Chain A
Amino acid sequence: MSATDITVTLTVNGTPTTRTTGGHVSLLRWLRDVADVTDPKYGCGEGVCGACTVLVDGEPASACIVLAAQVDGATVTTAAGLCEPDGSLGPLQERFHEHHAAQCGFCTPGMLLCAHAMLRDADGPMSRDDIREQLHGNLCRCTGYTDIVDAIEDAQARGITR
């Protein structure tokens, strides 16, 4: 414990979690290295790739460019938080699985949260181009995006938002 340390409490996927770290620790490092929540991924460290996307009080954020201390007290949802209580895939995750929307899977946790937020917040029916527009902050190097768009379009057709 040093003078610059700070205690942060976050509710991560429903579990209140309190940890003390240096004040400069990013939310991503806090989750991964301190709280052992490893589904948000490090891909670029500068908020470009979207692999670390989480929901902070319901809104998508790049955890690599947010300090944990900035969001003390917040509710944080990661991809694992979209699962059913028994750990099985949630409805949106089922759509991703059905449509082969993951290959290496490294972008997938961030991609899921982006998809969840766009489905939840959509004003009306989204076209495939609308979906692509909203995905542009989440990079994928394996799928070519088509299967991801398919999964989100299918979720929309079924009224699934998470």
Chain B
Amino acid sequence: MTSEIHTSKVEELRIVHQPLARHDQAEKIAGTTRYAGDLAFAGMLHARLVRSQVPSARLTRRDITAAAVVPGVVAVLLGEDVPNNEIRVDVPGQTIAVGALKASMQVLATDRVRFHGEPIALVIAETEDALATACELVEVEYEDLPVVSDPEAALAEGSPSVHEGGNLLAEWHIDRGDVDGAFADAAVIVEETYRTQFVDHAYLEPEAGVGWLDDDGVMNLRVATQVIEHYRDVARILGVPDSKVRVIAPYVGGGFGGKEDMTVEPYLAIAVHRTRKPVRMLWTRNESLLARAKRHRNVMRYRTAADADGTLLAHDIEIVSDAGAYAYLSALVLLYSTVHACGPYRVPNVRIRSKTAYTNNPPTSAFRGFGGMQMVLGYESQIDEVSRRLGIDPGEIRKRNALARGDRLPVGQEIITEVQLAQTIDAVRERAGDKPAPSGPRKAVGRAIASNMQSYGRLVWLNDSSAAWIGFQMDGSLTVRCGVPDIGGGQASSLGQIASEILAVDMDRISVHFGDSALTPLAGTTTATRQLLMSGNATYEAAVLLRDQVLGAVAAETGQPIESLRIEPGEIVGPDGATPLLTALQVCRRRNVPIEALGTFFGPKGKEVTRDLDGDRIFPDFTFGTHLADVEVDLDTGEVRILRYIAAHDVGRAINPMSVEGQIAGAVVQGLGQALLEDVVVQDGVNLTPGLFQYMIPTATDVPDIESVILESGEGLGPFGARGIGEPPIGPPIAVIPAAIADAVGARPTTLPVTPERVLDAVARGSRAAT
């Protein structure tokens, strides 16, 4: 273990807070887990998409004749064959008119394609070989249309329109205080532009699923997804009642936001609907890289004012993000960027103008950190620059400006839980000790810290809820049902731990059934760092209800006051002695007391936002943290080696410290990939990153051990005071690496990824500045 745990409030906990090896991991390590692509049916058909080879064109001809007669081909479908050929997306909060066309896309394009890789035809065949042959034979003719490839140019007067009505998909404004006055009075003003790139989720499991019809006509889709509630979208496409579609999420081979929007679902559904047979669809890595939505590239212009003691006075921020060809979740991602743009600091005067623009680039949508994380590069680089100009220690200036309980964010939201930002700064520095020396004469070592805040839980006006059901079996074992998709973070297992804690049943006697839209209570999406908050609380509530039912029955039976009873492993203990659990369950049966309970947790509420953000609560709460990195830069080659990496977060309460440590380490390395290596290269709308040879995610040799420090304030809104930790640790790496490079070479890279060329540019700027 490389982690430490600092607990500030200790409770009597039996199972929660234990670093438990998860049962789902045992099955994965044994190789027995059946992922979405691992299930097969006798007589199963195979489906594959024919995709656009150009980024922007009118479709002048689509001919399936040759493909349809390939032996083994069952059907070749076009958009006209889809019952309702439209996927709709909400674009909330805009005071400008956002037409239906802007916020919808076709399941299969019929007359116009807007990005390289857009689906045009769906081929269904008895064998993979027939499928491959037939896909080559679908003939598509294109009449090229102008390609819009730059989001800022897309917003300029006279730009060709990707959709009718202009390229502005959404915009948000924040106006707080007197920004111009603050700049007039400032001791120091820092101005810089930061740019981030398209990033791919690159989970190891490409999009996959199997669909089949049950005898009662229910469409079953067992798919790799973070959102089983897409059954409703599928039903709309098929034109059937919602109750006739069931989505099952088995253990998912990584999500990171990339399996939040639908991927294979509509196509599988159409294929099953048409053929009435089981169908499997497996996307290749190439399809995954080509056509599934990416992380937004952002252009972020910051102007920051501070007074002489380093107190931040004002931010004036412009953000432009690249929405790609279709809306997906870009408006909401940009909202996150806007609300998180000032970071974990108190800034009294703020002006933010943010826009997201359509282009003919790959669509962009959810990705771990959801727009909040790109901003860390901006606000952390700015505060570093203020500290450098004023000669104030980077840790000190952060502590001086750190948010505290009772402060309000620029958007208006009050911070309602304790902020342990200063403790995270101290924690990483204490652990780090002295900065190491360079390993040679043309090497330079740099150290930096970067802090961040990231929301956990969904936007409050979405009226989020989650439900979980827990039932005792008559042998005293426990069944938990909850519609949470488990994408590898221990989402299901942690619910078992919570039930185990409250009902005193050992983990090996608990089964957690999850991720089934028909058979488990709906728990919402495994996104937005919300499942521990939402389903954790729902499970907690169900467990408390069930416990109190059982205690109530024993109280009535034995005459002991219910307040005097408690549940212990295998028995109910009270002043008059112990009642065996099995006896207690029989008492429940005799007295008509249910031995099961449904818990529903409703998230915090708030009013819907408008374009001009001047609200109260936007998110339930936030998680805070600080990372420290030591890097060594080769001054001749621009190569960067990470010598040491330490990440500290206040997680409120670690339900399973091993899972927390795993989330932190994994998010850090994913963030380091964005900082140094990863880039989906798109040129004039053409995606030039077709495989993992070109798209380089970190290997074991690219990163050091990730050391985590877990702080536990006990202040989170989740069960036992937990905060969410899935997304927060991905933000700081993209800021701390450029900052450490700046410390080493004297100038800061501002564009990601920080390639050796960009490092050498910083080296050159640094040596010019020094002379």
Which chain A residues in 69-106 approach chain B with CB under 8 Å? 78-80, 83, 87-89, 93, 96-98, 100-106
A97 and B670 alpha carbons, distance in the complex (Å): 22
Determine whether B25 belongs to the interface, using a CB cutoff of 8 Å to chain A.
yes
Closest to B256 in A: A141
Determine whether B34 belongs to the interface, using a CB cutoff of 8 Å to chain A.
yes
Determine whether B191 belongs to the interface, using a CB cutoff of 8 Å to chain A.
no
Instruction: Say which residue of A80, A102, A133, A145 sits within 8 Å of B25 (CB atoms).
Output: A102
Is there an interface contact between B29 and A44, defined as CB atoms closer than 8 Å?
no
Which chain A residues in 139-162 approach chain B with CB under 8 Å? 139-150
Which chain B residues in 148-205 approach chain A with CB under 8 Å? 201-205
Is there an interface contact between B669 and A145, defined as CB atoms closer than 8 Å?
yes
Determine whether B610 belongs to the interface, using a CB cutoff of 8 Å to chain A.
no
Determine whether A46 belongs to the interface, using a CB cutoff of 8 Å to chain B.
yes
User: Which chain A residues lie closer than 8 Å to B27 at the CB level?
Assistant: 105
User: Which chain A residues lie closer than 8 Å to B670 at the CB level?
Assistant: 141, 144
B252 CB, min distance to chain A CBs, angstroms: 6
If A45-B285, A97-B25, A143-B662 touch, whether A106 touches B693 (CB-CB below 8 Å) is no
B285-296 vs A, CB cutoff 8 Å, 1 = contact: the mask equals 110000000000
Determine whether B284 belongs to the interface, using a CB cutoff of 8 Å to chain A.
yes
Is there an interface contact between A105 and B703, defined as CB atoms closer than 8 Å?
no
A127 and B251 alpha carbons, distance in the complex (Å): 33
Determine whether A48 belongs to the interface, using a CB cutoff of 8 Å to chain B.
yes
Closest to A39 in B: B31
User: Which chain B residues lie closer than 8 Å to A147 at the CB level?
Assistant: 661-662, 665
Is there an interface contact between B697 and A139, defined as CB atoms closer than 8 Å?
yes
Is there an interface contact between B665 and A146, defined as CB atoms closer than 8 Å?
yes
Determine whether A121 belongs to the interface, using a CB cutoff of 8 Å to chain B.
no
Is there an interface contact between B700 and A149, defined as CB atoms closer than 8 Å?
yes
If A146-B705, A146-B706 touch, whether A103 touches B489 (CB-CB below 8 Å) is yes
Is there an interface contact between A49 and B662, defined as CB atoms closer than 8 Å?
no
A83 CB, min distance to chain B CBs, angstroms: 6
Is there an interface contact between A140 and B284, defined as CB atoms closer than 8 Å?
no
B188 CB, min distance to chain A CBs, angstroms: 37
Which chain B residues in 672-700 approach chain A with CB under 8 Å? 691-693, 697, 699-700
Among B29, B286, B691, B706, which residue has the most Cβ atoms of chain A within 10 A?
Answer: B29
Is there an interface contact between B251 and A79, defined as CB atoms closer than 8 Å?
no
Is there an interface contact between B25 and A141, defined as CB atoms closer than 8 Å?
no
If A49-B204, A49-B692 touch, whether A146 touches B2 (CB-CB below 8 Å) is yes
Which chain B residues in 182-233 approach chain A with CB under 8 Å? 201-206
If A139-B692, A142-B254 touch, whether A105 touches B28 (CB-CB below 8 Å) is yes
Q: How many residues of B sit at the interface, in one of the four size bands?
A: 35 or more
Closest to A106 in B: B253
Is there an interface contact between B26 and A89, defined as CB atoms closer than 8 Å?
yes
A109 and B705 alpha carbons, distance in the complex (Å): 22
Is there an interface contact between B701 and A43, defined as CB atoms closer than 8 Å?
no
If A103-B488, A141-B202, A142-B254 touch, whether A89 touches B662 (CB-CB below 8 Å) is no
User: Which chain B residues lie closer than 8 Å to A41 at the CB level?
Assistant: 35, 204-205, 253
User: Which chain A residues lie closer than 8 Å to B662 at the CB level?
Assistant: 100, 103, 142-144, 147
Is there an interface contact between B668 and A144, defined as CB atoms closer than 8 Å?
yes
Is there an interface contact between B29 and A104, defined as CB atoms closer than 8 Å?
no
Closest to A29 in B: B128
Determine whether B309 belongs to the interface, using a CB cutoff of 8 Å to chain A.
no
User: Which chain A residues lie closer than 8 Å to B490 at the CB level?
Assistant: 103
User: Which chain B residues lie closer than 8 Å to A29 at the CB level?
Assistant: 128
A interface majority secondary structure: loop
B338 CB, min distance to chain A CBs, angstroms: 28
Determine whether A135 belongs to the interface, using a CB cutoff of 8 Å to chain B.
yes
Is there an interface contact between A45 and B284, defined as CB atoms closer than 8 Å?
yes
Is there an interface contact between A141 and B666, defined as CB atoms closer than 8 Å?
yes
B interface majority secondary structure: loop
Q: How many residues of A sit at the interface, in one of the four size bands?
A: 35 or more
Which chain A residues in 42-57 approach chain B with CB under 8 Å? 42-46, 48-49, 51
Determine whether B21 belongs to the interface, using a CB cutoff of 8 Å to chain A.
yes
A105 CB, min distance to chain B CBs, angstroms: 3
If A48-B691, A104-B487, A105-B29 touch, whether A38 touches B204 (CB-CB below 8 Å) is no
User: Which chain B residues lie closer than 8 Å to A150 at the CB level?
Assistant: 1-2
User: Which chain B residues lie closer than 8 Å to A120 at the CB level?
Assistant: none
User: Which chain B residues lie closer than 8 Å to A45 at the CB level?
Assistant: 284-286, 691
Among A39, A46, A104, which residue has the most Cβ atoms of chain B within 10 A?
Answer: A104
A92 and B425 alpha carbons, distance in the complex (Å): 37
If A45-B284, A135-B699 touch, whether A141 touches B203 (CB-CB below 8 Å) is yes
Instruction: Say which residue of A46, A97, A109, A133 sits within 8 Å of B21 (CB atoms).
Output: A97
Instruction: Say which residue of B2, B488, B700 sits within 8 Å of A132 (CB atoms).
Output: B700
A79 and B28 alpha carbons, distance in the complex (Å): 10
User: Which chain B residues lie closer than 8 Å to A19 at the CB level?
Assistant: none
B18-39 vs A, CB cutoff 8 Å, 1 = contact: the mask equals 0101101111111111110110
Among A33, A83, A137, A145, which residue has the most Cβ atoms of chain B within 10 A?
Answer: A145
Which chain B residues in 636-663 approach chain A with CB under 8 Å? 658-659, 661-662
If A103-B489, A104-B203 touch, whether A145 touches B254 (CB-CB below 8 Å) is no
Instruction: Say which residue of A42, A44, A144 sits within 8 Å of B666 (CB atoms).
Output: A144
Among B33, B284, B658, which residue has the most Cβ atoms of chain A within 10 A?
Answer: B33
Instruction: Say which residue of B40, B205, B285, B667 sits within 8 Å of A106 (CB atoms).
Output: B205
B31-51 vs A, CB cutoff 8 Å, 1 = contact: the mask equals 111110110100000000000
Determine whether B129 belongs to the interface, using a CB cutoff of 8 Å to chain A.
yes
Closest to B661 in A: A100
A136 and B699 alpha carbons, distance in the complex (Å): 5
User: Which chain A residues lie closer than 8 Å to B30 at the CB level?
Assistant: 79-80, 83, 87-89, 93
Instruction: Say which residue of B22, B32, B253, B703 sits within 8 Å of A39 (CB atoms).
Output: B32
Closest to A100 in B: B658
A46 and B692 alpha carbons, distance in the complex (Å): 8
Is there an interface contact between A102 and B29, defined as CB atoms closer than 8 Å?
yes
If A48-B692, A106-B35, A112-B29 touch, whether A135 touches B700 (CB-CB below 8 Å) is yes
Determine whether B282 belongs to the interface, using a CB cutoff of 8 Å to chain A.
yes
User: Which chain A residues lie closer than 8 Å to B668 at the CB level?
Assistant: 144
Closest to A145 in B: B700
A28 and B661 alpha carbons, distance in the complex (Å): 33
B594 CB, min distance to chain A CBs, angstroms: 36
User: Which chain A residues lie closer than 8 Å to B666 at the CB level?
Assistant: 103, 141-144
Is there an interface contact between B31 and A80, defined as CB atoms closer than 8 Å?
yes
B231 CB, min distance to chain A CBs, angstroms: 23
User: Which chain B residues lie closer than 8 Å to A135 at the CB level?
Assistant: 699-701
Closest to A131 in B: B700
B357 CB, min distance to chain A CBs, angstroms: 29
Among B30, B203, B692, which residue has the most Cβ atoms of chain A within 10 A?
Answer: B30
If A33-B128, A48-B692, A105-B488 touch, whether A145 touches B703 (CB-CB below 8 Å) is yes
Is there an interface contact between B204 and A141, defined as CB atoms closer than 8 Å?
yes
Which chain B residues in 479-517 approach chain A with CB under 8 Å? 487-490
User: Which chain B residues lie closer than 8 Å to A38 at the CB level?
Assistant: 34-35, 38
Can you name 21 A-B residue pairings with CB atoms under 8 Å?
A: A41-B204, A41-B253, A43-B692, A46-B691, A49-B285, A88-B30, A89-B29, A89-B30, A105-B253, A106-B253, A133-B701, A137-B699, A139-B697, A142-B488, A142-B666, A143-B669, A144-B706, A145-B703, A146-B665, A146-B705, A147-B665
Give me 8 other A-B pairs in contact (C-beta within 8 A), A139-B204, A142-B488, A142-B662 excluded. Answer: A103-B25, A105-B25, A112-B29, A135-B699, A139-B692, A142-B666, A146-B2, A147-B665
Q: List A residues at the B interface (Cβ < 8 Å).
A: 22, 29, 32-33, 36, 38-39, 41-46, 48-49, 51, 78-80, 83, 87-89, 93, 96-98, 100-109, 112, 128, 131-133, 135-150
Q: What 4 pairs between A and B have smallest CB-CB spacing?
A: A105-B28, A104-B488, A39-B31, A106-B253
